[in-house]
Amino acid sequence: MRQTIQWTIILAVVGVLFSGCATKTTNIDINNDKGEAVMGLDYRDFQGAAQDMVESLLASGAVTKKDGSRYVLVVSRIVNDTMQHIDTDQLVKKIRVGLLQSGKVVVTTAVGLDGAEDKMSMHAREELRGNAEFDQKSVAGKGSMIAPDLSLSGKILQRNIRVDSKTQRVEYYFQMTLSEIKTGLAYWEDERIVAKRGSNKSVAW
Amino acid sequence: MRLILTILALFAFVGCAKSPEPSDAIVKVVGGCSSSDIVVIDIKGRKKSDGFMQAQVIGENRSDSYQNLEYRVVWLDSEGFAIDTILSKWNSAPAYANQPFYINATSPSAKAKTFRLYIKRDKEVICDKQYNGQ
């Protein structure tokens, strides 16, 4: 009888422990997030890298055209050479937004390494051209698309370094290059390093 | 039995100690740029030939320890409206002990006419200054 009571108390305490320690879900204030750093890349790292890249690009003058008009930019390949499953748009989209807001650059979605980024831009032309159902004056004519002047390429690298039996360091390198398509010359390049130190038990992927 | 209960009690206190978010994550404005050991000596801006505005802030860390400051520049257009941009997020600025530090920033577009600078240490804003000169 006494043993039954004891085990009932233990089970009750364990039950309370598990229910009481459940991590509460909260919304993160992304404008003032002082939550603990993680060994992998999180949104703060992408935000910081994108901010630095855009500022560096604008400060360099590489996107300022002499006649005051805007450059047409195409986004080339951004290689993910990390151990993480990263959608490189987490970085590139922020850079694109920043460049568009600068008023110095427009991005073409009609050209891309794997075909047009926005397939509709090509499809709509081919589909509607000569189609009697559509006013042909409103259909984009041949030769109306604008070819890109600049190409943005880059790479995200990861290096894992064992510091001692308990600690590891993970280094991430964000590298970007802006090349002129006509000449193939790189007008701007930059690199941002994000380094993290933490437990060897943490997995950085 | 007592031992098991003691261990469970200890586990209860230790296991629940950590919260996923700090409770004091609100930025608190405490004063101007010269009320602490971080002092802003000079703040200036210029319009470049391509229309972009450039800001330079020179400060001094008068303490005997290295401080990792954070700064934020809010860019304002000719009518005083804040320009929405990713360039207005908090950024880090190293301030070495007893040395001057420099903050350079470029405006997000040619629309910027003035800027407002915020510097914070930890979660505390220690400087809030607006540049209005042209």
Query: Phi first, then psi: what are they for A172, rounded to 5°?
Result: -120, 135
In a domain, A22, yes or no: no
| Proportion of chain B above pLDDT 90, given as a percent | 29
Average pLDDT, chain A: 89
Residue type present at position A15: G
Write out the two tokens for B12: 């209860």
Residue type present at position A193: I
Model confidence pLDDT, tens digit, residues A23-75: 788 888 887 777 888 899 999 999 999 999 999 999 999 999 989 899 999 99
In a domain, A139, yes or no: no
**Element spanning B5, H or E:** helix B2-15
Could you give the maximum distance between any two Cα atoms of chain B, in Å?
Answer: 80
Write out the two tokens for A29: 């204030």
Write out the two tokens for A49: 């890298």
**For residues A75 and A178, is the Cβ–Cβ distance under 8 A?**
no
Query: How many domains are contained in chain A?
Result: 1
Model confidence pLDDT, tens digit, residues B69-127: 889 899 999 999 999 998 988 888 999 999 999 999 999 999 999 998 888 876 666 67
The shortest CB-CB distance from B86 to any of A6, A32, A54 is to A54
Angstrom distance (rounded) from CA A161 to CA A167: 9
Query: How close B134 gets to chain A, by Cα (Å)?
Result: 19
CB contact under 8 A, B16 and A20: yes
Q: Structural domain of residue A161, as residue ranges?
A: 42-62+69-108+146-199
Least confident of A7-16, A111-120, B18-27: B18-27
**For residues A113 and A181, is the Cβ–Cβ distance under 8 A?**
no
What would the mean pLDDT of A191-195 be, rounded to a whole number?
Answer: 96
In a domain, A48, yes or no: yes
CB contact under 8 A, A51 and B91: yes
Fold assignment, B26-131:
Immunoglobulin-like (2.60.40)
Q: Give the three-state DSSP class for A32.
A: coil
In a domain, A188, yes or no: yes
- Domain CATH code at residue A58: 3.40.50.10610
Instruction: Work out the number of other CB atoms within 10 angstroms of the CB of residue B53.
Output: 23
CB contact under 8 A, B54 and A59: yes
> Residue B35: which pLDDT band, with cuts at 50, 70 and 90?
low
The shortest CB-CB distance from A35 to any of B20, B90, B110 is to B20
In a domain, A172, yes or no: yes
In a domain, A195, yes or no: yes
What would the mean pLDDT of A78-107 be, rounded to a whole number?
Answer: 94
CB contact under 8 A, B12 and A20: yes
**For residues B80 and A48, is the Cβ–Cβ distance under 8 A?**
no
The shortest CB-CB distance from B4 to any of A10, A33, A64 is to A10
DSSP string, A108-144: -SS--BTB-SSHHHHHHHHHHTT-TTS-GGGSPPTT-
Residues 6+ apart with CB under 8 A from A52: A190, A192, B91
Q: What is the pLDDT of residue B26?
A: 29
Q: Predicted ipTM? A: 0.76
Write out the residues of chain B at the interface with chain A, using a CB-CB cutoff of 8 A: 1, 4-5, 8-9, 11-12, 15-16, 19-22, 25-27, 48, 50, 52, 54, 83-87, 89-91, 104-111, 123
The shortest CB-CB distance from B22 to any of A17, A23, A34 is to A34
Least confident of A146-155, B31-40, B105-114: B31-40
Residues 6+ apart with CB under 8 A from A40: A84, A203, A204, A205
Contacts of A98 in chain B (CB under 8 A): 85-87, 108
CB contact under 8 A, B108 and A102: yes
**Element spanning A52, H or E:** helix A43-60
CB contact under 8 A, B86 and A97: yes
Instruction: Work out the number of other CB atoms within 10 angstroms of the CB of residue A153.
Output: 18
